[in-house]
Structure 1
């Protein structure tokens, strides 16, 4: 039995304990992926709405992602215009990579059955393709100088270039 199959995705609280856990990720580099600054700017108290989700191995946070729900009035990606999720950052600590943690987080997001948009990070294109994401076809969909990747549930189509 695969250990990751039994791990549950947890919504991370916006508090100082989570801030300390996030500092472990920053030590491994990839500053672009660091969610530490996002968390610091959002700390209020435990009951704040958190966009952060994570997986633990024992007591250690080993994988995390930021997941934001975007109102359909801002949708420029899908037909019909649709509420969607923006999977902003996903990171797994180096020792825990290639064990299914990233897949588990993405499958959790896909479980909402909403379209998902992400921008691939460092050397991650193959991972996203395995998870069913495809490059946005519509030229106007370039985001932050990158081509976003999209995942579409049944019945939702990407906008065409016409």
Structure 2
């Protein structure tokens, strides 16, 4: 599957309906639905979600947020980074490189990436070059974050 295309997902009823097929469907999607119901939201609204379609079916998706260094509580020295979460490939589409394509897309921004892996997904993240973050136990929010650093960006330690 060389022609995998990652695209920003539109915030619309069709996309939110497709999200119901994902295991990690939750509060963020519900809040988007409420916003859509309470306001007129155009089809081109900015969305933090990116996905891969197989035909007309959303086969894989992730959420990607940029965190500015002034809000960074993880890196020393503070820096801009991406938070990647809700990465999921539907069971019928696994093994086709969709998860890797989503992670590679996030890496293309050349910013450090923090993710909180789902249960039993550590092997995948290790293959993607992510490492367990070193963090201050007093700041542990139960996240157990994993970190990826682009070439040339050095992480001293996560947290202070």
Q: Distance in 2 between matches of 1:37 and 1:143?
A: 27
Rate the CA distance shift 1:141–1:77 in 2: closer, same or farther, 3 A.
farther
Residue 105 of structure 1: aligned partner: 102
1:11 equivalent to 2:8? Answer: yes
RMSD of aligned Cα (Å): 2.0
Deviation at 1:24, TM superposition (A): 2.4
Rate the CA distance shift 1:106–1:38 in 2: closer, same or farther, 3 A.
farther
Q: Distance in 2 between matches of 1:56 and 1:41?
A: 25
Residue 25 of structure 2: aligned partner: 34
Deviation at 1:77, TM superposition (A): 2.4
Gaps of 5+ in 1: none
Q: Distance in 2 between matches of 1:63 and 1:12?
A: 11
1:57 equivalent to 2:54? Answer: yes
Q: Distance in 2 between matches of 1:102 and 1:147?
A: 20
Q: Distance in 1 between matches of 2:25 and 2:85?
A: 11
1:122 equivalent to 2:111? Answer: no
- Which of residues 68, 71, 74 in structure 2 aligns to 1:71? 68
Q: Distance in 1 between matches of 2:137 and 2:43?
A: 39
Q: Deviations over 1:65-103 (max 9, x none)?
A: 000111111112234321110002101100111221101
Deviation at 1:155, TM superposition (A): 2.4
TM-score for the superposition, normalised by structure 2: 0.86
Q: Distance in 1 between matches of 2:105 and 2:145?
A: 20
Q: Distance in 2 between matches of 1:93 and 1:141?
A: 36
Q: Distance in 2 between matches of 1:109 and 1:38?
A: 24
Rate the CA distance shift 1:85–1:130 in 2: closer, same or farther, 3 A.
same
Q: Aligned residues, how many? A: 153
